[in-house]
């Protein structure tokens, strides 16, 4: 029994922001019913690995363990089915353009009349208020408008996006947190509420320290330059004989041993590097002096040396290296599961570990409309009515 066992969620999300929030709730034990447009489904179903490999990683990653029903919310019969679904549920989540569900008569005010305990969670790109809030967007828009892209790379080089849908992911986590808080509040009030999150808001919050530095000083922190603009110390990426390693700071009492290991023992007497915090220019000089020594040993050798002196570090892994890291596997961040065909497949597991109500990953995502009849029968429709709904394209 998961922590959210007994909670029913209606998920009309698209791509990542909404669906990944729903995936988090599935992993924590909720029942999640995914509502999709007939014949089309979630747009994530149409983003294959390649034209030769039509498997869809975005859809599979964000929809495992859900049931899928196809319903056209734009037609009266479809909207009627949807209202029945929502009346049976604790949570509704979506990430349509603001105002879309309201235009179909399915806004919070309408749906909460018959289900006052409903938690109604909406995600958007730019937020629900203000000029421009109606613009559509996706992960790249959140990264760009929220300032994240301006921090990547090195001075003098063009900024580049993060190589993951990080704005969508943070938006989904904010949505999941809001849902859980609203469910907790409902225990005492008996009432649900509307929740709004956005990619833009999530990016601002994810960079709270950096934005706070700007608000305090009026100075933009700047680019990462293989480290972090607010952490000008021995903190950054260094090339090794066979890859790269992340050096996560060297405390003053570790410096002598560290400099000797790198082959630059004279730096312990260099007054430029005596402070705990350096200027950006001094940090750059330090890394230039450390670089030749680090290139003489492999990442693995440096790991052993830094472990012995208790200096924080991590190898810079690619996906293949991370996927075979014993820490990833032993903590079940990737797990091997059996799918409905009896095949073993490796999937991304939940990062949330709970001792009493453990999270549980699911092996596969549903086919489009796989559970339509099953769910309609649960709602009280009979087979004749289901046939009529198909004839009118409501499902």
So what's the pLDDT on residue 132?
Answer: 87
Task: State how far the Cα of 29 lies from the Cα of 356, in Å rounded to an integer.
Answer: 12
Please report the pLDDT score of residue 134 as a whole number.
Answer: 87
Q: Cα-flanking dihedrals φ and ψ of residue 69, to 5°? A: -125, 135
Give the chain's count of helices (H) and strands (E).
16, 11
Write down the pLDDT at residue 115: 98
What was the pLDDT predicted at 280?
87
Give the number of residues written for the chain: 395
Residue 260 is predicted with a pLDDT of 97
For the chain, the distance separating the N- and C-terminal CA atoms, rounded to the nearest angstrom, is 32
Contact between 38 and 72 under an 8 Å Cβ cutoff? The reply is yes
Residues with pLDDT less than 50, the chain: none
**Looking at residue 105, what is its pLDDT?**
96
Residue 78, pLDDT score: 97
As to burial, measured by CB atoms within 10 angstroms (0-12 exposed, 13-18 middle, 19+ buried), residue 110 is middle
How many other β-carbons are positioned within 10 Å of the β-carbon of residue 142?
30
Which residues are marked as active site?
Answer: 168
**Measured between alpha carbons, how far is 344 from 111 in angstroms, rounded to an integer?**
41
3-state secondary structure 214-248: HHHHCCCCCCCCCCCCCCCCCEEEEECCCCEEEEE
Task: Compute the distance between CA of residue 161 and CA of residue 29 in angstroms, rounded to an integer.
Answer: 34
Domains and CATH numbers, the chain: 8-206+365-391 (3.40.50.10540), 235-316 (3.30.1540.10)
CA distance 259 to 41: 58
Q: Full-prediction pTM beyond 0.75?
A: yes
| Confidence at residue 258, expressed as pLDDT on a 0 to 100 scale | 97
């Amino acid at each position: 029994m998961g922590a959210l066992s007994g909670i029913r969620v209606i998920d009309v999300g698209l791509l990542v922001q909404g669906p990944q929030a729903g995936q988090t709730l599935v992993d924590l034990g909720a029942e999640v019913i995914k509502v999709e447009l007939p014949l089309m489904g979630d747009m994530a179903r149409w983003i294959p690995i390649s034209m030769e490999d039509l498997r869809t990683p975005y859809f599979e990653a964000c929809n495992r363990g859900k049931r899928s029903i196809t319903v056209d919310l734009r037609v009266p019969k479809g909207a009627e089915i949807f209202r029945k679904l929502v009346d049976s549920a604790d949570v509704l989540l979506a990430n349509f353009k603001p105002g879309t569900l309201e235009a179909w008569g399915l806004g919070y005010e309408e749906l909460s009349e018959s289900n006052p305990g409903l938690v109604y969670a909406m995600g958007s790109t730019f937020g629900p208020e203000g000029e421009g809030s109606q613009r559509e967007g996706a992960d790249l828009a959140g990264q760009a408008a929220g300032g994240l892209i301006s921090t990547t790379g090195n001075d003098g080089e063009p900024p580049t996006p993060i190589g993951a849908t990080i704005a969508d992911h943070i938006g989904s986590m904010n949505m999941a947190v809001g849902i859980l808080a609203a469910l907790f509040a409902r225990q005492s009030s008996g009432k649900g509420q509307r929740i709004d999150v956005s990619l833009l808001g999530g990016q601002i919050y994810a960079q709270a320290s950096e934005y706070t530095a700007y608000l305090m000083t009026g100075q933009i922190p700047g680019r990462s330059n293989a480290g972090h603009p607010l952490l000008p110390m021995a903190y950054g990426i260094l090339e090794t004989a066979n890859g790269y390693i992340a050096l996560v700071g060297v405390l003053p009492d570790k410096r002598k041993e560290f400099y000797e290991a790198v082959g630059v023992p004279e730096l312990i007497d260099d007054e430029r590097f005596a402070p705990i915090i350096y200027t950006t220019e001094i940090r750059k000089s330090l890394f230039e002096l450390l670089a030749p020594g680090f290139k003489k040993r492999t990442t693995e050798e440096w790991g052993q040396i830094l472990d012995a002196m208790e200096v924080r570090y991590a190898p810079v892994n690619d996906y293949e290296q991370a996927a075979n890291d014993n820490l990833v596997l032993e903590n079940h961040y990737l797990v091997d599961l059996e799918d409905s065909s009896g095949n073993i497949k490796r999937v991304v597991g939940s990062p949330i570990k709970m001792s009493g109500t453990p999270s549980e990953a699911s092996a596969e995502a549903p086919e489009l409309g796989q559970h339509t009849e099953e769910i309609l029968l649960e709602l009280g429709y009979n087979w004749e009515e289901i046939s009529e709904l198909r004839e009118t394209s409501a499902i």
